[in-house]
Amino acid sequence: MLKYLLPLLLLAPLQARGDADDIMAGCIDPFPDIRVVGCTAAIDSGIWEGGDLAWAYNNRAIAYRLMGQWEDALEDFSIAIGLDPENPINWNNRGHAHRVMGAPEKAIVDFDWAIALDPDYRLAHYNRATALAVMGDLVGAVASYSEAIRLAPEDPWGWNDRGLARHRMGDLDAALKDFDAALERAPERVIILNNRANTLCKLGEVDAAIDGWAEAMLHDPAFAAREQEWLTEQGFYDGPLSGAFDTATAAAQRRYAEAGCPGV
């Protein structure tokens, strides 16, 4: 995928190339507000065209995205696609914007284009799966997550998110295997520990579920406080929001598990 990540400078006089290098520095600045200024200068300079100009629009769109300016980001991603429709990154990035902005159907069209251009583009498969899950097409989501896993089996999030989709489908044994695979790759990830415990809870394995929640809480006191707050809202816990796993929290979790794990 490296061929898509950096612009190819146009064949131009040396002075123009130097100017392009100076402008490029601003268009890759890590601070999004500075990057917007730098990329705008690149766009307005007249030095670049085609795929190089598309790169500047794409980078400015990413900066807008980081700033939460999604409409501006979407507009720039669309311009980048018009300038360089053969670059799958442009399609994937616009698809992500569509999904975040509440248009998963449009997102899937963009992800399909990205995958057609590069069938091994793991991120496009992963993002497509996420959009399908948002739409409630869990079978399609599992298939797309599986493709993302095939392309990057060491990434824990493909396994985790496929596990979530399978959990929602009621395929709990398969979900548990996915969470186990995710934890092999990221053994202390609190979110994955919690997801696995939720599935164990639904399987009726109460003690194992409590052990899993306890481990997650021990790794992250902030998660522990959120867990206690959630149990309080559900009517299972009436202790302090201490962020510490204690006997009162374990007892509340047991009551929750014995009630059938509502809400997960």
- Looking at the predicted structure, is the pLDDT value of residue 16 above 70? no
| Least confident span in 125-129, 167-171, 259-263 | 259-263
What's the predicted TM-score (pTM) here?
Answer: 0.87
What is the mean predicted confidence (pLDDT) over 154-164?
98
- Looking at the predicted structure, is the pLDDT value of residue 146 above 90? yes
Kindly provide the b/e burial profile for residues 125-137, where b requires at least 16 CB atoms within 10 angstroms of the residue's own CB: bbbbbbbbbeeeb
Confidence at 221, pLDDT banded by 50, 70, 90: confident
Span between the terminal Cα atoms of the chain, in Å: 38
pLDDT digits (tens, 9 = 90+) for 22-67: 777 889 999 999 999 999 999 999 888 999 999 999 999 999 999 9
DSSP code for 6: S
Please provide residue 40's backbone torsions phi and psi, each rounded to the nearest 5 degrees. Answer: -65, -40
The pLDDT, as a whole number, for residue 26 is: 87
- Looking at the predicted structure, is the pLDDT value of residue 241 above 70? yes
Confidence at 20, pLDDT banded by 50, 70, 90: low
| Whole-number percent of the chain with pLDDT over 90 | 78
The pLDDT, as a whole number, for residue 118 is: 98
Close Cβ partners of 212 (under 8 Å, ≥ 6 residues apart):
193, 194, 196, 197, 200
Tokens at residue 150, please?
């095939």
Q: In whole angstroms, give the CA distance from residue 172 to residue 203.
A: 7
Tokens at residue 247, please?
């006997």
- Looking at the predicted structure, is the pLDDT value of residue 10 above 80? no
- Looking at the predicted structure, is the pLDDT value of residue 13 above 80? no
